[in-house]
Structure 1
Amino acid sequence: MRSQHGVVLVCERIDRDGTTVVGFLLGATHRTALVRDLLTRDRTALVGCAALALAGRPRTLLLFARTRLRRYTRRLRTPAAVGGPEGRVADLSAIAVDLSARDQGAGAALVRGFLARCAVTGVRTAELVTEIGGPAESFYRGLGWSPLEDVRTRDGRWVRRFGTTLPVEART
């Protein structure tokens, strides 16, 4: 993550055998600014990696061409403008915890660390998207995230958008 808006957190377990990575989190303290940074700085590399990945998956390539190609092409040509702080939304993009570390607080610690990082930058709200009915829903609800809306993706899957508001005292 070369953007000041990107967040990468790692959770490690330390025991007598040493240190083991048991989880990670990827996110953005300002999702629009992170996308703009990626598209401005890494456009050629992104296109190259995507082309290589899609070349070996013809069914995925067809789905991508049908559902997303036009939108992505427009976005590559003209990265989105970045608004002021009132429009900033943090985005928790991905979190993964090893099965051996689940239900031991690793995921919750990663999310708390992410929200603390967001608060320091002045973010007011954070959002994420997860599969409807999946195990992540109860995890996020348990951490105080609220469902905002259900959305059908371009490839027909249903996902639920969750949000949380950072406490005012955390943003000062």
Structure 2
Amino acid sequence: MIENKRVNLWAILISLMICVLIALDMVGDYREGVHWQHLLLELGILSLSLSGIVYFWRLYCLSAQAKIALLRHDLELANRQARHWRDANRDLIVGLAKQIQQQFDSWQLTRAEAEVGMFMLKGLSHAQIAELRHSSERTIRDQARAIYRKAGVNNRIELSAFFLEDLLMPNGPQSEAGEN
């Protein structure tokens, strides 16, 4: 898509240069009294050059519009798939959220720490969490460190792994057979 825009832009620039050169040549030829048929031929070339500018400009603009339409379509498709997944797994999601909250309670996280922990598990950055919670990024970093300390983990990855480890498929007979 970007390559097409670049090609269209180059085509516009080349057509514009041709247009300017032909126009300058026509002015010079007219002053020298060149035969009208030659001027008519150059006028045709000038018209084609102007048509090229218009044509490639439209392609350039349509490419951006087409890209926006494609991105909107992809976003809508992703949103539909996410809604479908959430609807199909609603009970599991609610159960997981309850289990995470129970674990937070067993770690004795404060309400604010538990909220920050949930946002971290969702993949939000400290800056994003700070904005959502109307607090400073430093406060969020301090709360994150408290969560790691209380959970006995070193970082966000380990915190996420704590909850994901049991959700992943356990080693089955095939993986055990491959170890022998």
Does TM-score exceed 0.5, indicating one fold? Answer: no
Task: Give the TM-score normalised by structure 2.
Answer: 0.22
More RCO (CA 8 Å, sep 6+): 1
Q: Which structure: greater helix fraction?
A: 2
- Structure number with the higher strand fraction is 1
Higher Cα Rg, which structure: 2
